[in-house]
Amino acid sequence: MIDQKACIGCHACTVACKTEHGVALGVYRTWVKYVEKGEWPDTRRFFSVLRCNHCTDAPCVQICPTTALYKRDDGIVDFDTSRCIGCKSCMQACPYDALYIDPDEHTAQKCNYCAHRVDVGLEPACVVVCPEQAIIAGDLDDPSSRIAEIVATEQTMVRAPEQGTGPNVFYTGAESSNLDPMRSGELADGGIWRDPPDLQSWLSVDLGGGSQAPAGPIGNLGAVESHPSPPPRIEHGRRGTPPRVVYNTDHPMPWGWRVSSYFLTKGIAAGIAIAAAVALLFGAGVDSSWMSWAAPLVSGLFLALTGVLLVWDLKRPDRFYYLLTKGNPSSWLVKGAWILSAFAVVDGLWFLAGILRMTNVVPVLIWVSAVLALGLAGYTAFLFGQAEGRDLWQSPMLLWHMLAGAFTVGGGVSLVAALFSDVGPPLEATAALTTAPRGAIGVTAFAWTMVIGAAALGLLAAGEIASRHPTANIAAAMHHMTRGRYAGEYWLGLVASVVLPLVAGVVVLAGGPTIVGALGGLAASVGIWLVDDAFVRAGQSVPLS
């Protein structure tokens, strides 16, 4: 428990924590945030000590793919760095910004309640060093302990109670704008004791992929992209002046362009299999080079690129195989690895059967691949659903968005392939369609796949924009995506992923040249990447601490 009435903002807890654990420069397990309210001469400064909340239902433990994060019997959420692969998913799951990437170890780290001290009967270092005894630690299950008595008898607050994590750090006398970052203006300059953010790039922690972003309201932070100012939900003072942050720590975006690119590459890998299954429904058969062996080959190449991006984004890529050897079944990162592996096996069998001209086996493998492709395209929605700290990513439409995207790019890339490869026999029933090169049945099937996917993407986007947002976090993220920093990227992506492939697909279905559909497919791929990149970044743009 932290008594904010007693806290004087001296940072002794931060220094003791850094000393006890050898915490590197630029990152923190415990830190102090300053917020000021009012206008001179009626001003006040409030302090808040922020840290891991050792949640009763810790989302970081559930999402961790290698059980590097685990909950001890005494309730402490501890960390085993020897198992961490540096995927940064725990950072997305934590609603409190409590985890960071250690710049020396390249693994995630956080407050562990000084477990090594607790095990020998000592209190955490921050408790011992606090000159005002503002930090109180103890056993909440022991009704006779000091902390249990205070929590039972005094009015306390916790951070982000709406997340349902059961945080076990309690505050008394705290200012709401300190604990809820949506209620104060974000740090827009260097604040006190710091240079402006654009002069601090040498202190930045490279999280890999999260640094390539345009300058926003707080300037370009080099390798660190801090959170832009949230849209208005701020409590204004008597004279219209909102609470303002004057001291805080930087929390870079853990995920960036590599994650956005991985969305696209796995969507293409899955979409090619889905488009091939649609072609079978249209009667394309498996005699063509594309349907027999070229489609699984191209799909496999994009699947391999997906794996490269996944491993590249890890801070400990040398441990990537821990996903399979030390996997946590509750993590959708591990389940996704299983799905990806299963798809790779069936995709490889499809390729071999096509090369060996096993025409009776190929259709079966196409259908099995298509079923697995739905899982491959959609599992990331469940992974993002485990990222409890990012409310935008909890959207129930995300699964359908990913499936629609796979249909769109799968049909589009297959239309590109139709320019260079035999994709099926001519469709004799409609003379106009026979003008499509190298097999009109396949071309027609791929065009329909792209049109259906693009139309679904448009409807889903309209639904997201028009719907009411249940939390301020989602409203802020949607603001950044549709009207703020990422609006240009998002709207350009929507035009490229919805309008252009829809028009191109209709042209092909009306008897137009296949190259028009191929261009629409290429536009769809670019557009889906833009939309997904805006979505990934906007979800991380809302401050959590």
Residue 175 has pLDDT above 90, yes or no: no
- DSSP class of residue 40? T
* 3-state percent helix, strand, coil for the chain, nearest multiple of 5: 50, 10, 40
- Is the CB of residue 326 less than 8 Å from the CB of residue 272? no
CA distance 201 to 222: 5
Contact in structure between 290 and 417 (CB atoms under 8 Å): yes
Per-residue pLDDT tens over the stretch 254-306: 999 999 999 999 999 999 999 999 999 999 889 899 999 999 999 999 999 99
Which H helix or E strand runs over 12?
helix 12-21
Region 142-153: mean pLDDT is 92
Q: CB under 8 Å to 358, separation ≥6 — which residues?
A: none
Residue 154 burial (CB count, 10 A): 12
d(C-alpha 363, C-alpha 377), whole Å: 21
Superfamily of domain 257-539: Formate dehydrogenase/DMSO reductase domain (1.20.1630.10)
Task: For residue 77, give every residue at least 6 positions away whose Cβ sits within 8 Å of its Cβ, in sequence order, or none.
Answer: 52, 54, 55, 58, 60, 61, 69, 70, 71, 110, 112
The mean pLDDT of 384-397, rounded to a whole number, is 94
Average pLDDT over the chain reads 89
Summarize the confidence of residues 522-530 as an average pLDDT.
97
User: How many CB atoms are closer than 10 A to CB 83?
Assistant: 19
Contact 542, 387 (CB under 8 A): no
Enumerate the domain spans of the chain: 2-51+122-247, 257-539
pLDDT of residue 200: 44
The better pLDDT of the pair 498, 190 is held by 498
**Helical packing angle, 440-466 and 398-418, nearest 10°:** 150
- The pLDDT confidence band at residue 184, using thresholds 50, 70 and 90, is confident
Alpha-helix residue ranges (DSSP H) falling in 295-439? 295-312, 322-325, 332-355, 362-385, 398-418
Six token digits for residue 337: 């690895």
* Mean of pLDDT values over 381-394: 95
Q: How many CB atoms lie within 10 A of CB 451?
A: 23
Which residues neighbour 202 within 8 Å (Cβ) at sequence distance 6 or greater?
none
- pLDDT score recorded for residue 444: 94
Instruction: Tell me how far apart the terminal alpha carbons of the chain are, to the nearest angstrom.
Output: 17
Burial code (b: 16+ CB inside 10 Å, e: under 16) for 208-220 equals bbbbebeebebee
| pLDDT value for 177 | 87
Do 51 and 30 contact (CB within 8 A), yes or no? Answer: yes
Average pLDDT over residues 245-262: 92
CA distances from 545 to 49, 129, 174, 202, 248 (A): 10, 23, 14, 23, 9
Q: Which fold would CATH assign to domain 2-51+122-247?
A: Alpha-Beta Plaits (3.30.70)
pTM assigned to the model = 0.89
Report whether 297 contacts 420 (CB < 8 A): no
pLDDT in tens, 478-512: 999 999 999 999 999 999 999 999 999 999 999 99
| pLDDT for res 229 | 45
Burial category of 318 from C-beta neighbours within 10 Å (exposed 0-12, middle 13-18, buried 19 and up)? exposed
pLDDT of residue 432: 40
Query: CA 225, CA 220: separation in Å to the nearest integer?
Result: 7
Q: Are the C-beta atoms of 33 and 176 separated by less than 8 Å?
A: no
Q: Supply the pLDDT for residue 199.
A: 46
Report the share of the chain in percent with pLDDT over 70.
88
DSSP secondary structure string for all residues of 225-257: --PPPPPS-----TTSPPPEEEE------S--H
Task: Locate 387 and state its tokens.
Answer: 């990222």
For residue 225, pLDDT beyond 70:
no
pLDDT value at residue 216: 35
pLDDT (0 to 100) of residue 228: 46
d(CA 530, CA 194): 34
Phi, psi of 46 (to 5 degrees): -120, 140
Complete DSSP assignment for 54-109 = --TT-HHHHH-TTS-EEE-TTS-EEE-GGG-----HHHHH-TT---EE-TTT-SEE
Chain segment 404-456, per-residue pLDDT in tens: 999 999 999 999 999 998 887 765 544 343 344 445 889 999 999 999 999 99
The number of helix segments (H) and strand segments (E) in the chain equals 19, 9
Confidence of residue 212 (pLDDT cuts 50, 70, 90): very low
